[in-house]
Chains A and B, each alone.
Chain A
Amino acid sequence: MATSEADVGGRAAGEHKQGLYSGGLWSWLTTVDHKRIGVLYFVTGLVFMLVAGLEAQAIRLQLARPEQRLLDPEFYNQLFTMHGTTMVFFAGMPLIIAFFNFIVPLQIGARDVAFPRLNAFSYWLLLFSGLFLYSSFFFGGAPDGGWFAYTPLTNRQYSPGMGMDFYVLALLLSGIGSIAGGVNFLVTIVNMRAPGMKFMRLPLFTWMALLVSILILLSFPPFTIGLVFMFFDRSFGTHFYDAAAGADPVLWQHLFWVFGHPEVYILVLPAFGVVSDVIPTFSRKPLFGYPVVVFSGILIAFLGFGVWVHHMFAVGLGPIVNAVFGGATMLVAIPTGIKIFNWIATMWGGQLRFKPAMLFAIGLLGIFTIGGLSGVMHASPPADLQQTDTYFVVAHFHYVLIGGTVFGLFAGFYYWFPKATGKMLNEGLGKAHFWLTLIAMNLTFFPIHFSGLLGQPRRTFTYAEGLGLDTFNLISTIGAFLFTLAFVPLIWNLWYAWRRGRPAGPNPWDAPTIEWTTSSPPPHYNFAVIPRVDRRDPLWHPHIKPGLGWAGEAEPGGVFPRVQPDDAPEPIVMPNPSYWPLVMALGLSLATIGGLGSLPLVFTGVALALLGLFGWAFEPAEGGH
């Protein structure tokens, strides 16, 4: 393996001397650079999102008219299962981790994450588990138990094929990567902050990354165990969910939703973090109520562990249980609302620039609010007895997930693309993307609030003619088609910027946080000189700028250096690339495939994983941290 050298000019050796995106396949397979891993996560997440979007298109096509048989129910049930599973685990989370990877070390003044090889390991697990899950289509059919996979439907008796085995194994494998990522980012944020970067000076995006890491660490284990129980019931005849043996099938629901509810905060808090960074930049005003926004995030994360039964109000757990969890669910609306008000107050009195990033951020405020209000409607257990398991819920969570997560990630994309690539995106295409998405999203999901209340249950491949749901579904399908079209300006913009984007300087938006002190894209080692900060929004202090300058202020401080020098004054030793994370991920993946029923493959995989583990452990200690 490559040995570490620092050359005289002070530039680190080992990875991409030429540039972030250069280098052949081997350099990408062995990278441990958080920026490259972030790019890998982004591309992977985007591809899976497009695939899941096509699945949704097919679903909406089938539902365009009542009693249609374009798709048979067996295939339809696989489609909605894969749509949900893909969007949550293989699109949403990877895209979020992509942003965490690229941005968090830059925002805290670090040169990489705490455990770079573990970082790469997490990515390869994600890729392999996603490919493994999708291979199910070619091996007897994809999982068809819904993304939530309730037992006993998903036990061996009622789901005899291999589809659900793919589900269990793929999620166990990717879960390992997620938990590793949680450890990595928590240690990075707690332990690798630049001098002066106290917690209450962290950019909000990094704050949310910290909270999300904690959520991942605490919520994934119950899900892992739930999946293990399902695997054992399906493969070894145990009785964890077997009512006839004295067990409770509802145990699965508890384990799933104890994870599942924090998972939705895992998906939305990063978006809130993006918006909390974007809105101040494009309002030229600091975030209103920074400590309150931080603490409301902490409250949401904490309370989010106490509401999971609100997904189970119709199970019949009794009035006291329902009342307690209904109350807790209403409680969590308060810190969420507080954030929205603080964001509006940030814009109030500001100088609002409607770049695409800002448009998506404002869009989040508008759309997420609607989703939040329908969420409050669900919070009342008796009212929820009419809403749960209907298209009303589908409307709710698409408003919060698209309005929240997707809009937030798009805002982050437009915001940080220049930093990541050194190119500016085309603003016109960005605005077209925004408006098309906004209109399409509402067209797709607003009508189904009504079809849900008028009697359309979820997860149904068709609906009867006499129910009166035809128009709502047709409009929704048209919206879905438009939604697919809305991706065209995005893809076009990516291609355009890559080829002909204007070069971006270090801080094209005049933003206040320290990732904007580096070049675009940053050098391999991020900072030639580790910055020192002494306040929040350091780049806005001191701020003497012609035209819109804060009159006469010349107070010292902020961040040093304000712009990173081109060359490092001292040699910087960075972690070497390594193929051991890939080897270990490959080994675990083989063992996972063996879980479908081949013991030799399991042993081979474990052996390879152990080889990878020992290779990793005995590799010469990396440079830097």
Chain B
Amino acid sequence: MGLFFAAVAVAACGGTYPQSALDPSSDFAGRLDGLFMQIFWWAVGVFVLVEGVLLYTVFRWREDPARGRPPEVHGHVLMEIGWTVIPALILVAIAIPTIRTIFLVDRPTADPDALVVEVTGRQWWWEFTYPELGITTANEMHIPLGRTVDLRLRSADVIHSFWVPRLGGKRDVVPGRENQLWFRPDSVGVFWGQCAEYCGTAHALMGLRVLVDAPADFEAWVTTNRSNAARPADSEARAGQGVFMANACVSCHEIRGTGARGQLGPDLTHVGSRLTIGAGLLDNNLENLIRWIDSTQVVKPGTLMPEVDLTESQIQQLAAYLLGLR
């Protein structure tokens, strides 16, 4: 067991755990981690004491005929008081920072300069809208370093839970209710998240990415994402645009600046610039885009995106077109 602790200590500090709650990178996540570590060390202390006494007892008082019948002890008031009061005090020591932290993080942010992002959980992807910036995107949220981010969390269907462990604790998205979560990131980076409330068939495949950008990079991202879709760069992509517009794609997806105005699925205006597709499922490249379109239900069983009836070359053209939408 000690080995496990050591392993975790090492692991928590490394970069190989992109969804680790033990590797905080925001004020919110840092507070939670700090509180957890306090409780953790109390727990370790109690563990060592109690298990130690238990093990000692088990060995020390093994059956031994030479000792004779044990004394008929029925209790000891002082001990009862002792082992009631001491745990109570330990719990008070845990309760105080707990309550303090609750009232720090579980209230709306007081920062007037916070960047508001509306998060809508849907089966099985995430929609992000920036009302002040006029941006709608999906599954990949960009936020600037140096500002507070104020998330407004909603659901379009069932209960999901928004969770990016390195940036903070989770919050459910519940239909009929708007929840709030805010934090201030510590550093730039790519942070992995995942839906954390069972929401149906593809719950396990409802991931997301949060990218914390340096302020200048964020501005660039905003400018790009505000604009309409890029024109297809070559004949392959142009053919792909034709396939998109002539098929069912337009009924679910929006590509601003074209005739595609569907609202049911992720906005694809700048899908080519994202790191992943399918809600954090696959790296975004040509091969995976083809795979996604060709065998959607195999890659993400249950997804509401239907299988399409297109030829191999049509799919290749589509993929080329989408990849070009940066």
Q: Given the complex, which residues of A lie within 8 Å of B80, measured CB to CB?
A: 289, 292, 338, 342
By the criterion CB–CB under 8 Å, are A314 and B84 in contact?
Answer: no
Question: Interface-forming stretch among A178-186, A208-216, A547-555?
Answer: A547-555
Q: Given the complex, which residues of B lie within 8 Å of A316, measured CB to CB?
A: 153, 171-172, 174, 177, 179-180
Query: Nearest Cβ in chain A — how far from B167, in angstroms?
Result: 11
CB within 8 Å of B: which A294-342 residues: 314-316, 318-319, 322-323, 326-327, 330-331, 333-334, 337-338, 340-342
Contact of B170 among A73, A354, A379, A385 (CB under 8 A): A385
Query: Nearest Cβ in chain B — how far from A74, in angstroms?
Result: 6
Beyond A285-B73, A380-B98, A455-B192, whether A249 also contacts B20 by CB under 8 A is no
Closest B residue, CB atoms, query A287: B74
Contact of A369 among B19, B50, B205 (CB under 8 A): B50
By the criterion CB–CB under 8 Å, are A453 and B63 in contact?
Answer: no
CB within 8 Å of A: which B200-216 residues: 200-205, 207
Closest A residue, CB atoms, query B59: A352
In the bound assembly, the distance between CA atoms of A518 and B309 in angstroms comes to 76
Q: Given the complex, which residues of B lie within 8 Å of A377, measured CB to CB?
A: 36, 39-40, 43
By the criterion CB–CB under 8 Å, are A348 and B75 in contact?
Answer: no
Residue of A283, A340, A389 with highest tally of chain B CB at under 10 A: A389
Q: Given the complex, which residues of A lie within 8 Å of B175, measured CB to CB?
A: 152, 243-244, 249
CB within 8 Å of B: which A330-374 residues: 330-331, 333-334, 337-338, 340-342, 344-345, 347-354, 362, 365-366, 369-370, 373-374
Contact of A319 among B8, B22, B79, B107 (CB under 8 A): B107
Question: Interface-forming stretch among B131-139, B155-163, B265-273?
Answer: B155-163
Q: Given the complex, which residues of A lie within 8 Å of B253, measured CB to CB?
A: none
Contact of A243 among B88, B102, B176, B203 (CB under 8 A): B176
Contact of B21 among A366, A447, A454, A464 (CB under 8 A): A454
By the criterion CB–CB under 8 Å, are A468 and B16 in contact?
Answer: yes
Q: Given the complex, which residues of B lie within 8 Å of A457, measured CB to CB?
A: 163, 194-196, 204
By the criterion CB–CB under 8 Å, are A386 and B31 in contact?
Answer: no
Q: Given the complex, which residues of A lie within 8 Å of B50, measured CB to CB?
A: 340, 344, 369
Beyond A316-B177, A330-B95, A455-B21, whether A292 also contacts B102 by CB under 8 A is no
Question: Interface-forming stretch among B64-72, B217-225, B315-323?
Answer: B64-72
Beyond A153-B199, A376-B43, whether A250 also contacts B21 by CB under 8 A is no
Query: Nearest Cβ in chain B — how far from A318, in angstroms?
Result: 7
Interface presence of B146 (CB below 8 A): no
Closest B residue, CB atoms, query A72: B301
Q: Given the complex, which residues of B lie within 8 Å of A158, measured CB to CB?
A: 123, 157-158, 200
> Per-position contact with B for A547-568: 1 when CB-CB < 8 Å, else 0?
1111100000000000000000
Interface presence of B53 (CB below 8 A): yes
By the criterion CB–CB under 8 Å, are A350 and B99 in contact?
Answer: no
By the criterion CB–CB under 8 Å, are B39 and A376 in contact?
Answer: yes
> Per-position contact with A for B208-248: 1 when CB-CB < 8 Å, else 0?
00000000000000000000000000000000000000000
By the criterion CB–CB under 8 Å, are A319 and B106 in contact?
Answer: yes
Query: Nearest Cβ in chain B — how far from A135, in angstroms?
Result: 22
By the criterion CB–CB under 8 Å, are A386 and B21 in contact?
Answer: yes
By the criterion CB–CB under 8 Å, are A466 and B18 in contact?
Answer: yes
In the bound assembly, the distance between CA atoms of A374 and B46 in angstroms comes to 11
By the criterion CB–CB under 8 Å, are B69 and A150 in contact?
Answer: no
By the criterion CB–CB under 8 Å, are A382 and B101 in contact?
Answer: yes
Query: Nearest Cβ in chain A — how far from B274, in angstroms?
Result: 16
Query: Nearest Cβ in chain A — how far from B145, in angstroms?
Result: 22
By the criterion CB–CB under 8 Å, are A286 and B74 in contact?
Answer: yes
By the criterion CB–CB under 8 Å, are B21 and A463 in contact?
Answer: no
Contact of A344 among B57, B76, B84 (CB under 8 A): B57
Interface presence of A22 (CB below 8 A): no
By the criterion CB–CB under 8 Å, are A460 and B204 in contact?
Answer: yes
Q: Given the complex, which residues of B lie within 8 Å of A243, measured CB to CB?
A: 174-177
In the bound assembly, the distance between CA atoms of A150 and B171 in angstroms comes to 16
In the bound assembly, the distance between CA atoms of A260 and B68 in angstroms comes to 47
Interface presence of A47 (CB below 8 A): no
CB within 8 Å of B: which A179-199 residues: none
In the bound assembly, the distance between CA atoms of A202 and B316 in angstroms comes to 77
Query: Nearest Cβ in chain A — how far from B202, in angstroms?
Result: 6
In the bound assembly, the distance between CA atoms of A365 and B169 in angstroms comes to 32
By the criterion CB–CB under 8 Å, are B63 and A334 in contact?
Answer: no
By the criterion CB–CB under 8 Å, are B165 and A446 in contact?
Answer: no
Interface presence of B87 (CB below 8 A): yes
Contact of A314 among B1, B42, B87, B172 (CB under 8 A): B172
Q: Given the complex, which residues of A lie within 8 Å of B39, measured CB to CB?
A: 376-377, 380, 383
By the criterion CB–CB under 8 Å, are A334 and B201 in contact?
Answer: no
Q: Given the complex, which residues of A lie within 8 Å of B51, measured CB to CB?
A: 366, 369
By the criterion CB–CB under 8 Å, are A322 and B106 in contact?
Answer: yes
In the bound assembly, the distance between CA atoms of A576 and B70 in angstroms comes to 46
Q: Given the complex, which residues of A lie within 8 Å of B179, measured CB to CB?
A: 316
By the criterion CB–CB under 8 Å, are B74 and A290 in contact?
Answer: yes
Contact of B68 among A327, A447, A548 (CB under 8 A): A548
Closest A residue, CB atoms, query B163: A457
Interface presence of A156 (CB below 8 A): no
CB within 8 Å of A: which B270-326 residues: 280, 301-302
Q: Given the complex, which residues of B lie within 8 Å of A454, measured CB to CB?
A: 11-12, 17, 19-22
Contact of B69 among A351, A352, A468 (CB under 8 A): A351
Contact of B198 among A146, A463, A547, A550 (CB under 8 A): A146
Q: Given the complex, which residues of A lie within 8 Å of B43, measured CB to CB?
A: 373-374, 376-377
Closest A residue, CB atoms, query B169: A385
> Per-position contact with A for B18-30: 1 when CB-CB < 8 Å, else 0?
1111100000010
Interface presence of A284 (CB below 8 A): yes
Beyond A146-B198, A292-B80, whether A347 also contacts B158 by CB under 8 A is no
By the criterion CB–CB under 8 Å, are A283 and B70 in contact?
Answer: yes
By the criterion CB–CB under 8 Å, are A334 and B91 in contact?
Answer: yes
Interface presence of B168 (CB below 8 A): yes
Query: Nearest Cβ in chain B — how far from A191, in angstroms?
Result: 28
By the criterion CB–CB under 8 Å, are A453 and B171 in contact?
Answer: no
Q: Given the complex, which residues of A lie within 8 Å of B4, measured CB to CB?
A: 446-447, 450
Query: Nearest Cβ in chain A — how far from B47, in angstroms?
Result: 6
By the criterion CB–CB under 8 Å, are B158 and A373 in contact?
Answer: no
Interface presence of A517 (CB below 8 A): no
Q: Given the complex, which residues of B lie within 8 Å of A129, measured CB to CB?
A: none
In the bound assembly, the distance between CA atoms of A351 and B192 in angstroms comes to 55
By the criterion CB–CB under 8 Å, are A455 and B19 in contact?
Answer: yes
Interface presence of B32 (CB below 8 A): yes
By the criterion CB–CB under 8 Å, are B94 and A380 in contact?
Answer: yes
By the criterion CB–CB under 8 Å, are A389 and B176 in contact?
Answer: no
Q: Given the complex, which residues of A lie within 8 Å of B21, measured CB to CB?
A: 386-387, 390, 453-455
By the criterion CB–CB under 8 Å, are B176 and A326 in contact?
Answer: no
Closest B residue, CB atoms, query A362: B58
Q: Given the complex, which residues of A lie within 8 Å of B64, measured CB to CB?
A: 351
By the criterion CB–CB under 8 Å, are B161 and A389 in contact?
Answer: yes
Q: Given the complex, which residues of A lie within 8 Å of B172, measured CB to CB?
A: 314-316
In the bound assembly, the distance between CA atoms of A380 and B93 in angstroms comes to 12
Query: Nearest Cβ in chain B — how far from A204, in angstroms?
Result: 13
Q: Given the complex, which residues of B lie within 8 Å of A73, measured CB to CB?
A: 201-205, 301-302
Interface presence of A444 (CB below 8 A): no
Q: Given the complex, which residues of A lie within 8 Å of B207, measured CB to CB?
A: 464
Contact of B84 among A248, A338, A351, A464 (CB under 8 A): A338
Query: Nearest Cβ in chain B — how far from A186, in angstroms?
Result: 28
Contacts A146-B198, A284-B69, A450-B4 supplied; 4 other A-B pairs, CB < 8 Å? A158-B200, A373-B43, A380-B98, A462-B204
Q: Which 5 A-B pairs have the closest CB atoms?
A: A385-B169, A455-B19, A243-B176, A460-B204, A316-B179
19 interchain pairs (CB within 8 A)?
A145-B198, A289-B80, A323-B98, A338-B80, A342-B80, A344-B53, A344-B57, A347-B57, A351-B70, A354-B63, A362-B54, A362-B58, A365-B54, A376-B91, A381-B106, A453-B20, A457-B195, A459-B204, A467-B17
